[in-house]
A and B are shown apart, each in its own frame.
Chain A
Amino acid sequence: MIVPLPQLLAVSAGLFAIGLFGALTRKNAIGILMSIELILNSANLNLVAFNRIWGEPSGLGQVMALFVIGTAAGGAVVGLALILTIFRHRQTISADEIKLLKG
């Protein structure tokens, strides 16, 4: 059974929208991180879907998706480490209170 492209894109768009909403609204830094993971995954879905529909023989889309998963894992690790460090210093991970770079 082949799921047609529009559905796939719709799911992907939905994921993206949820992720963006979460990233913009969550106070918790970990929540923001998780939302970003959602955005990444929506991109992955698009990559895989387009590869499949256009029958790219090299499977470049899949390979890209795997890359994104890898980098996302790395990003999560770094992000969590940052959040941990911030928490150690400021006893909070609320994104509202972290504004060291305010001009």
Chain B
Amino acid sequence: MAFLARHLLSLIVFLPLAAGLAILFIPKERDRWIQAAANGATLLVLILTGWLALHFQPQAPGFQWEEAVPWIGPIHAWYHLGLDGISLPLVFLTALLSFLAAVASTTIPERRKEFFFLYLLLESGMLGTFLALDLFLFYIFWEVVLVPMYFLIGIWGGPRREYAAIKFFLYTLAGSVFMLLSILTCYLRSPAHSFSIPELIGKGLQLGPAAQWWVFLGFFLAFAIKVPIFPFHTWLPDAHVEAPAPISVLLAGVLLKMGGYGFLRISFPLLPHVAIGFSLIMGILGLINIVYGALVAMAQSDFKKLVAYSSVSHMGFVLLGLSALNLTGFNGAALEMFNHGMITGGMFLLVGILYDRTHTRELDAFGGLGAKIPVYGGLLSFFALASLGLPGLSGFVSEFLALLGCFPTHPAITIASASGLVVGAAYFLLMLQRILLGPLKPQWSGLPDAGRREIFTLVPLMIFILWIGLYPRCILALQTPALTNLLFRLGGNIGW
């Protein structure tokens, strides 16, 4: 027991993988066992991360539950895991969404054994990415995420799944290559001569200003593609549209956050001067993401694509918060990542529910469903309102913080970005109108309402959305000390 407690993070990271391997030995006919094993493993991870969140000491300096073991001796690569206020919300988000999406995966019709194996492998990779403190290990987990995602889209996806899967894989891989170059540069040009992130930050890099920019750009490309930042975003709609619903949830809810997390964990603290110089570009990119994503979302007739582009728009607020270089902005960015995961995760679950029943995602094919399936309509309205930033729900808090933080740094950009809120409201209301309002189309007269299992997957998200919307302190308190530390490192304005 004591051993387990000492290696809690490893347990969390590898428990899904172990369960995935175990699932391979369950006979294919025992479908209930497979589902139960996946649900159980993800639930256990969720409980463990919940325990972490409850016992986390926000004020304690450095990392908690740290594990460091020499791994590959000759190159000084360590097996190094640790948790701090920046990673904790994302780890929890990953665990929660993984559990809910696993429950929602009962709708996957075929080859379920392989599906859950890859699914759990994916969860391990995602958790590992957020917990790794060694660049080498980080890179490995980063790539581990790609492979199962490729198969999950490519095998269980929609009609254009191969195209989407290959696009996703190659795009992300191209980014990772540049990241690898940057990692190697860091390794070679640091007196620490190590891959350890804290050590590299502590000892700094021996690089000229220009070289620092190049290293930053290498990381930036990898993270920008993941976020995704305009113009590297086009893999996202394709991947989202083709992926099965539970995978879209993880794609939007977790994978996109890996990019933003990378900025906070690696780029900014490692290269503080470049980060400061990059602030304006980051702000402009954020503005483009917000407005452009919202405009494109408005032109969509495909429900899932609309939500996908709304993700692009929302991630713009993360960039805006990051460009602020002050505590409010960083808090907004980190919180927006968490909130967006909850909200958009819920949106994709809802898209999946409707698609399972109607086998179409064309917005114009619906209409008047609000009277036929009121529970679903209510849930959809709730998530749409959270997504368009209604005060009292979590999306507003983080968007407001990001805008508030960015305002002193880039006032013009902030004001222009705020117009994205109007367009955002416009396309979500259009979406609601096209699905729920108006006269009921006759072909949907037999449509069943949301079932108990589907409601079960959405209610936890709603609880968090409402909770954070009304009382954001609970999560801000967790991340503020870590972000303050980061800002101290950046020499930014901590007061704000």
A–B touch (CB < 8 A): the answer is: no
Chain A residues near B (Cβ < 8 Å)? none
B contact set with A: CB distance below 8 Å: none
